[in-house]
């Protein structure tokens, strides 16, 4: 399987409460960053890796997303969209959007972050060559990791623990990009609100089927005002 065969699902169901006060008239995905919506940056990032099939798992203000898509912002991408009937969490949203996923594995991406130097081909090769891997999570190294929970993993990349936010000089954090086998979603009840981060991933860690893929370079996260500013500075350069 090549990156060109992947479908990327961008998770856009959240309300973006930490940044909504700055842009109350639009969903977080359409917040402008260096002259473009963050969603456009994400889709172009995926296209650069050869990933052209993109599905938007929408929720809050999805009508604004549909209007934006009519403008043809990224003509080279094959973009579909579906709106969850009620908030389902990241895991529940993926289960509800499963008919749009296609082949296994697929790519799931959080809707508020970019890892510009992530090598999707290398990540896919690592996932496919690890027999036990149900999910491969991109992780990024960060200094002064006290603002984030961190991920711990062994020498082969098997994730062994998630640590809560506490003062650390450095650590590895979830970069919000996941290669997932569709079988991961089998046990999620239809219509149930389920969190990947708080429910699905800890269970996969216990069974030894969740792996980390280290990416060099920065993780850009526009979920806060400071994060938005840092992302804009990086993309402007």
pLDDT tens digits along 169-217: 678 999 999 999 999 999 999 999 999 999 999 999 999 999 999 998 8
Could you give the residue numbers annotated as active site? Answer: 165
CA neighbor of 98 nearest in space, from 57, 46, 147: 57
- Tell me the three state secondary structure of residue 235: helix
The DSSP 8-state label assigned to residue 6 in this structure reads P
CA 219 to chain centre: 12
Above 70 in pLDDT, residue 72? yes
Structural domain containing residue 36: 3-236
Cα–Cα distance, 208 to 28 (Å, whole number): 34
Looking at the structure of the chain, the number of domains it has is 1
CA neighbor of 184 nearest in space, from 160, 203, 198: 203
Above 90 in pLDDT, residue 46? yes
Whichever domain contains 97, its CATH number is 3.90.550.10
CB atoms within 10 A of CB 52: 18
Q: What is the pLDDT of residue 168?
A: 62
* Interval 10-30: pLDDT, tens: 999 876 566 666 778 889 899
């Amino acid at each position: 399987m090549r990156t060109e065969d992947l479908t990327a699902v961008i998770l856009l169901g959240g309300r973006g409460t930490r940044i909504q006060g700055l842009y109350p008239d639009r969903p977080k995905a359409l917040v402008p960053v260096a002259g473009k919506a963050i969603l456009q940056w994400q889709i172009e990032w995926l296209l650069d890796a050869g990933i052209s099939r993109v599905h938007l798992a929408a929720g809050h203000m999805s009508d604004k997303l549909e209007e934006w898509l009519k403008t043809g912002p990224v003509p080279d991408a094959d973009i579909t969209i579906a709106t969850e009937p009620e908030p389902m969490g990241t895991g529940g949203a993926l289960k509800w959007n499963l008919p749009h996923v296609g082949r296994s594995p697929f790519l799931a991406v959080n809707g508020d972050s970019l890892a510009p130097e992530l090598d999707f081909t290398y990540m896919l090769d690592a996932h496919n060559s690890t027999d036990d891997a149900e999910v491969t999570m991109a992780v990024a190294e960060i200094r002064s990791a006290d603002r984030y929970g961190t991920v711990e993993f062994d020498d082969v990349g098997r994730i062994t623990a998630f640590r809560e936010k506490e003062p650390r000089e450095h650590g590895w954090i979830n970069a919000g990009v996941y290669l997932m086998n569709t079988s991961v979603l089998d046990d999620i009840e239809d219509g149930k609100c389920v969190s990947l981060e708080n429910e699905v991933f800890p269970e996969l860690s216990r069974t030894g089927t969740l792996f980390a893929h280290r990416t060099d370079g920065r993780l850009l996260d526009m979920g806060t005002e400071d994060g938005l500013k840092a992302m804009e500075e990086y993309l402007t350069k």
